[in-house]
């Protein structure tokens, strides 16, 4: 069989008719901009800041959005766009750095100013225009800039101002070029969604034809054509991404799908049983379950270094998966749950941002020697879109809304040496954390919640006896994109109940802490 080759998910006519491109200049909000556009049912992709006008034409873009960024447009080496994009006749919306770049390229001047704006500001609309249609004369916006447009050429019309930024929004007189100094994509800008909608509907003349139901139907038909009569293997992990991939494939090819679940002994409580029930009873797939607990624990014995743990687990998974996959006849394709942020952050998108933010284990697939063609049907979707798609495909809410789980499983939440006993202790504590947060009605309001077992013992007293046992930590965070995160402000009564239950019910734990670290500087996971 041939080596792994990526099969890009076709976008179909509905997407190509209405496509908006976000040119990424290094903003932390670039993905958020794309998500906000898609919320208006307009398909959106993030591309390199220096994409050529020719490539933009090939994309058949209805509109361009220039993102913010940390640089100054007047600095040597700052990211620039091809000025030819302003001559395409395609509407352009510059946001923060993007506005400064557009104004600078078209005859304006950008300067650093001592009156910097970070946070909320009162924006006053000075000139009626389609970008601010339906907005009041004053509205709260979110500013985050040190530079600003000091003056514009006679070809620009200032549209809005704040107390310290006299040119907070602009439009070009002759070209369909608009600029906003504030960030309409963040929730702190009260009517930001309306501003973006005005740009998409009134200026780009989009009709909002991007629907996940259409995406599912088009993808299902595409998979049928690509696969033919061959068999597809899909690795299940218990997470939402792999589950949605499997459900989508089942709709497309039914009995030609074989799922493999490697039960490595590092899963959450009842996770393997839940996956087995869902994909044997509900979807009736050909499910292979590999009981590999002994293999993984043997390789992890005595290993404490986090990176070494991850490496050993990765190799063990490949060995187990490869051995099981070899038993499946006529299998030519391998499916996995790569998402759009994975593609963007790994630098794997053809026109994606140039910098590789991080390497993802599921971008590029398993090693080439496995000899499969790779299918990544979710590689154009964000996490929230994947969850919505899962519901449309009939997956249960409990599975669709399950919090993310690291690839190495509980091994990176069991700090220090990993053993069966320590994993059982952690699994029990983790189940208490999750179940109590669910009972409090806060599970879908938090982004990720779990327990961590520390290799630290402390003195305690239970009854009349002195104890010297383990410490556990509760970790619960809120985030939109998992690139930054804040610790969840759980009610004290809830934390007290979780702590009491863990200490009373989990053998070997006599102390519980709550992690109040943000990301950055901390990470969500402890290892």
Rounded distance between C-alpha atoms, residue 242 and residue 222, angstroms: 19
pLDDT digits (tens, 9 = 90+) for 123-154: 999 988 999 999 999 999 999 878 889 888 88
Point out the catalytic residue in the list 45, 117, 161, 185: 185
Q: Quote the CA–CA distance of 345 and 360 in Å, as a whole number.
A: 8
3-state secondary structure string across 321-382:
HHHHHCCCCCEEEEECCCCHHHHHHCCCCCCCCCCCCCCCCCCCCCCHHHCCEEECCCCCCC
Examine the residue annotation and report whether 183 is marked as an active-site residue of this protein: yes
What the chain holds in terms of domains, given with CATH numbers, is: 19-203 (3.40.50.880), 212-400 (3.40.50.620), 413-514 (3.30.300.10)
State the average pLDDT for the chain: 88
Task: To the nearest 10°, report the CA torsion of 146, 357, 102, 209.
Answer: -120
How many Å apart are CA 127 and CA 115, to the nearest integer? 23
Residue 6 has pLDDT above 80, yes or no: no
Q: Using alpha carbons, select from 78, 79, 102, 107 the residue that is nearest to residue 91.
A: 102
Query: Distance between CA 396 and CA 281 in Å, rounded?
Result: 13
Contact 453/425 with Cβ under 8 angstroms? Answer: yes
Residue 196 main-chain phi, psi, to 5 deg: -65, -40
Catalytic residue among 49, 59, 172, 183: 183
Rg of the chain in Å (alpha carbons): 26
- pLDDT band of residue 289 (cuts 50, 70, 90) is very high
Inform me whether the pLDDT recorded for 315 exceeds 50. Answer: yes
* pLDDT value of residue 367: 58
Which of 45, 59, 81, 96 does the annotation list as catalytic? Answer: 96
β partners of residue 95:
180
Taking 50 as the threshold, does the pLDDT of residue 259 lie above it? yes
pLDDT tens digit sequence for 198-209 = 999 999 999 998
What is the average per-residue pLDDT within 224-233? 94
pTM: 0.76
Alpha-carbon 69 to chain mean position: 19
* DSSP for 233-294, written as a single string: EEEE-SSHHHHHHHHHHHHHHGGGEEEEEEE-S-SPTTHHHHHHHIIIIIS--EEEEEE-HH
More confident residue, 463 or 303: 303
Whether 508 shows a pLDDT value over 80: the answer reads yes
* Lowest mean pLDDT, pick from 2-11, 110-119, 404-413: 2-11
pLDDT band at residue 90 under the 50/70/90 scheme: very high
Q: Which residues pair with 94 in a beta bridge?
A: 66, 179
Q: What would the two tokens of residue 499 be?
A: 């702590």
Residue range 338-371, pLDDT digits in tens: 888 777 765 555 665 644 444 444 544 555 566 7
pLDDT at 366: 58
Residue 3: what pLDDT? 32
Secondary structure of 388-414 in the HEC alphabet? Answer: HHHHHCCCCHHHHCCCCCCCCHHHHCE
Across 410-424, average pLDDT: 96
Phi, psi angles (nearest 5°) of residue 88: -75, -15
């Amino acid at each position: 069989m041939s080596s792994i080759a990526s099969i890009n998910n076709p976008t179909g006519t509905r997407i190509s008719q209405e496509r908006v491109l976000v040119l990424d200049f290094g903003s932390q909000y670039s993905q958020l901009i794309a998500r906000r556009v898609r919320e208006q049912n307009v398909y959106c992709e993030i591309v390199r800041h220096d994409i050529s006008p020719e490539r933009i034409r090939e994309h058949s873009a209805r509109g361009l959005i220039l993102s913010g960024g940390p640089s100054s447009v007047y600095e040597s080496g700052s990211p620039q766009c091809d000025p030819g994009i302003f001559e395409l006749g395609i509407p352009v919306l510059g946001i923060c750095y993007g506005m400064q770049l557009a104004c600078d390229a078209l005859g304006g001047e950008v300067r650093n100013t001592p009156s910097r704006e970070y946070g909320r500001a009162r924006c006053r609309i000075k000139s009626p225009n389609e970008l601010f249609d339906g907005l009041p004369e004053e509205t709260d916006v979110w500013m985050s800039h040190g530079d600003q447009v000091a003056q514009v050429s006679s070809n620009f019309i200032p549209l809005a101002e704040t107390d310290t930024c006299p040119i907070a929004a602009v439009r070009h007189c002759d070209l369909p070029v608009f600029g906003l100094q504030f960030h309409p994509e963040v929730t702190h800008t009260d009517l930001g969604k309306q501003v973006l909608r005005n740009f998409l509907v009134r200026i780009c003349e989009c009709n909002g034809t991007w629907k996940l139901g259409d995406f599912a139907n088009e993808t299902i038909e595409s998979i049928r054509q690509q696969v033919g009569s061959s068999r597809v293997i899909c690795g299940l992990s218990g997470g939402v991404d792999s589950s949605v991939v499997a459900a989508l494939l089942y709709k497309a090819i039914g009995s030609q799908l074989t799922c493999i679940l490697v039960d490595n002994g590092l899963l959450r409580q009842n996770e393997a049983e839940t996956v087995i029930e869902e994909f044997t009873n509900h979807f009736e797939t050909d499910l292979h379950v590999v009981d590999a607990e002994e293999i993984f624990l043997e390789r992890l014995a005595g290993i404490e270094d986090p990176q070494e743990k991850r490496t050993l687990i990765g190799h063990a998974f490949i060995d187990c998966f490869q051995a099981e996959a070899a038993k499946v006849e006529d299998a030519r394709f391998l499916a996995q749950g790569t998402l759009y942020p994975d593609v963007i952050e790994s630098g794997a998108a053809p026109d994606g941002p140039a910098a590789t933010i991080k390497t993802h284990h599921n971008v590029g697939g398993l090693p080439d020697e496995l000899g499969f063609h790779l299918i990544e049907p979710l590689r154009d979707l964000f996490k929230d879109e994947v969850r919505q798609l899962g519901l449309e495909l009939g997956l249960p809410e409990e599975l669709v809304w399950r919090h993310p789980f690291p690839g190495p499983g509980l091994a990176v939440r069991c700090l220090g040496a990993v053993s069966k006993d320590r994993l059982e202790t952690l699994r029990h504590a983790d189940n208490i954390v999750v179940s109590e947060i669910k009972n409090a009605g806060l599970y879908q309001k938090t982004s990720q919640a779990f327990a961590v077992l520390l290799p630290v013992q402390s003195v305690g007293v239970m009854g009349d006896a002195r104890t010297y046992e383990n410490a556990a930590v509760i970790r619960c965070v809120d985030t939109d994109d998992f690139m930054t995160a804040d610790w969840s402000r759980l009610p004290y009564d809830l934390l007290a109940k979780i702590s009491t239950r863990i200490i009373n019910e989990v053998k070997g734990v006599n102390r519980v802490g709550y992690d109040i670290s943000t990301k950055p500087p901390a990470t969500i996971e402890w290892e």
